[in-house]
Chains A and B, each alone.
Chain A
């Protein structure tokens, strides 16, 4: 049994309105690679920021090397041999590699002058010792992201870290760079007996690099396992499952004509890398097509391309038979599309505006709300928004309060109320109940099914597999921007879906494609 170097006991972290960590207890052992996985917002980074002294926990105790620590700062963390490489690098772009490595503990000449030569030789020594090849005199701005990450790692090593936290280290790396990083991690663990904690949501990486894995969901640590005892499918269901088991909802009517069609669509993500690859799908009136995928496999980009928030590189999007590929979100809405976006705060609402202003948009040009398209009728607007407010059971201090002051669940209800009241015939829904309590979830689910039964064509993406199962008529699985399988929802199990979500079915899918 290896010695425990870090011990979290009943750690809780509460931000105003959000419980980011909920009673987390976890031991990290010397000389292991520990992977912490979970969806975005599950609390992984928050927990690690507690260890690095950025967050002060609101409850529980943290013990490092047998010593209980309180009022911890990053400076204290560094003094105790903890280093963290953040997702966004903390480097000075105009400095050289060596200057960045020694920053905050610069070698001095005569006590005051920066000793550049000593810095370079120190950087060289470290690079040799850990076999992390870098050119100490290169300027950071001019080297690749993979090398910048090495500089970050060397920086923590220079400060004497032997517990290394890597926050989503592979998010910015190419596959080759990822392989190199993993080789480095294995080497420093094996040869230097260091401890590495790696935060990720890519499950194959967990399998490839870690000794043990902890799964987090909604702030809680769901389980800790020896990596050799689990597989990707088990991890996936731990990550996305919910405690409450939900039955499928009653549905009525058969699917009608095709309302939404996507043809050979290619879409890039924010970094310009292909996120959706030659993807085609159709959604018919009166059916819910669910997308099951681990986060970051192109489902977000696909939905944004369908709604017009993101441009497509090639391929077509058809709404009711009309090509809308180059149209604005407004033009697509005019054709009967509604959209519940993935990120409600950034996209779904204006937090500075009142509930009433947020509920009205989309209908505000209707004649009943203004005179000659100019003067807005305050009373008509108020009556209408108050009616939606009541109908969708939004709970807050009334329609005049700003949306930013509401809880996440009620904010989501504002989005749902507006989008569902727009008489759409195509609904694009992304993460409809993320961060929403069970009651509100039930409510939103029943409204989605109601829309379906009324003949709406619905495309749904959710990180919550139970939700996809509960609401969908058909399910497609996506992996790395491609569809890996398509199933009738009542003819497949969660375990089978998990298999396709991790890309395992891809070869067969490609085979089937080639056959057609």
Chain B
């Protein structure tokens, strides 16, 4: 019960920060000579006015959501996966090449193989920092960040070298995926694909595993207090590595979705630091699965809407970045402010009680 109360308070402060961010955004718009109301209207139109826009918003929300959940899986078990970007890219490039290499096989076989290959690749790439952390106590934040860079260059090398597209106009990209392997698109003209259903299943599974299974329970305990978990007899090393594997596999799956659902080729637009956006969503919502889903939708609305705002109200795309930054800023500040208010209140009560007791004692003695 108490837990729910905290969540409500958090949701309220989140909404307040969003409102404040929009206010500050309006100020910036007004100062830079744009009518705020008009710009915001165009933003809403840009992301929600028709099926195509809604589709694009959902596609981006899906990417954010699975990336955010991947980050949350690691963090719940006490390991911070900052390397999702690399895991996503490698998953994407491997999935794309599976589609090229297996051309001629039935669609279902190719899709399944590509998904498995992408997940295995992402998982394997996350396994390395996981093992390094557990066995050698190497800080996973550093290793995962470094491995991101490595992955970016591996992918570039593959897309420019051995797996290069035969069309000389495409400088860095794999061969185009045969149309027969494209994921179905429920909305014409939008990048949204049937991958959203797979994503929904993944999201549900993650929530279910974390909240309702024995493995999820062990992960939670390990993340909360690893010393206690080890003391209680849990195999904390295995649990941390497992969490990292799952996190990496999810990122790899996102890479596959991007190739087969949206781009139909591996090129640099597969991910524009999407994992970091997802990670931010996860951190803002304190790794709460339901919160990640909602916040992903909101951030996708902001980002896709920003394109509409730019096209129709002439507001530079950067305003979206400002809004996003201000929201994050408020969320970070909110935690600090709330904590200091609580601490001050606790101190006041303690002092009051002590004084009351002293007064009482004095009265008795006197």
Contact = CB atoms under 8 A, between A and B. Distances in A.
Nearest to B358: A59
Contact of B231 (A309, A352, A360, A369): A309
Given A12-B354, A14-B350, A350-B221, 5 more contacts: A12-B358, A59-B358, A330-B234, A330-B235, A349-B225
Given A15-B350, A16-B346, A376-B214, A400 B3 contact: yes
Interface string B259-301: 0000000000000000000000000000000000000000000
A397 interface: yes
B228 A374 contact: no
B41 interface: no
Given A357-B220, A374-B214, A400-B3, A350 B225 contact: yes
B228 A349 contact: yes
> Which 4 pairs of residues, A with B, have the shortest CB-CB distance?
A330-B233, A58-B354, A333-B233, A350-B224
Given A59-B355, A329-B231, A362-B233, A376 B217 contact: yes
Interface string A322-364: 0000001110011000010100001111111100010011101
Interface of A: 10, 12, 14-16, 58-59, 307, 309, 328-330, 333-334, 339, 341, 346-353, 357, 360-362, 364-365, 369-370, 373-376, 378, 397, 400-402, 405
Interface string B132-172: 00000000000000000000000000000000000000000
Interface in B208-233: 212-218, 220-221, 224-225, 227-233
B2 interface: yes
Contact of A352 (B224, B232, B354): B224
Nearest to A57: B354
11 contacts: A328-B235, A329-B230, A347-B228, A357-B220, A357-B221, A360-B217, A364-B214, A370-B213, A373-B214, A376-B212, A402-B3
Contact of B230 (A14, A309, A375, A401): A309
Contact of B225 (A351, A374, A400, A405): A351
B353 interface: yes
A341 B351 contact: no
B350 A348 contact: no
Contact of B214 (A307, A330, A339, A370): A370
B225 A352 contact: yes
Contacts of B349: 16
B108 interface: no
A365 B227 CA distance: 19
B8 interface: no
Contacts of A378: 212
B1 interface: yes
Given A16-B346, A397-B2, A347 B212 contact: no
Contact of B350 (A58, A328, A329, A376): A58
A401 B3 CA distance: 8
Given A14-B350, A347-B231, A376 B2 contact: no
A130 B244 CA distance: 57
Contacts, number: 100
Contact of A348 (B221, B231, B235): B231
Contacts of B235: 328, 330
A339 to B, nearest CB: 7
A58 B355 CA distance: 7
Given A347-B228, A351-B225, A374-B215, A58 B233 contact: no
A338 to B, nearest CB: 10
B288 to A, nearest CB: 14
A16 B350 contact: yes
A374 B217 CA distance: 10
Contacts of A374: 213-215
Contacts of A14: 350-351, 353-354
B366 to A, nearest CB: 14
A347 B220 CA distance: 15
Contacts of B215: 374
B227 A334 contact: no
Given A58-B354, A347-B228, A375 B233 contact: no
A328 B346 contact: no
A405 B354 CA distance: 20
Contact of B213 (A347, A353, A376, A400): A376
A361 B232 contact: yes
Nearest to B208: A375
Contacts of B216: 376
Interface in B307-355: 346-347, 349-351, 353-355
Nearest to A15: B350
A361 B221 contact: yes
A241 B200 CA distance: 62
A346 B350 contact: no
B94 to A, nearest CB: 29
Contacts of B214: 364-365, 369-370, 373-374, 376
Nearest to B218: A364
A376 B230 CA distance: 21
B231 A334 contact: no
Contacts of B347: 16
B346 to A, nearest CB: 5
A74 B228 CA distance: 37
Nearest to B216: A376
Contacts of A369: 214
Interface string B2-15: 11000000000000
A373 B214 CA distance: 7
Contact of B217 (A58, A339, A364): A364
Given A374-B214, A376-B214, A401-B2, A348 B353 contact: no
Contacts of A328: 230, 233, 235
Contacts of B228: 346-350
A88 B260 CA distance: 57
B340 to A, nearest CB: 15
Contacts of A376: 212-214, 216-217
Contact of A400 (B1, B227, B354): B1
Interface in B65-112: none
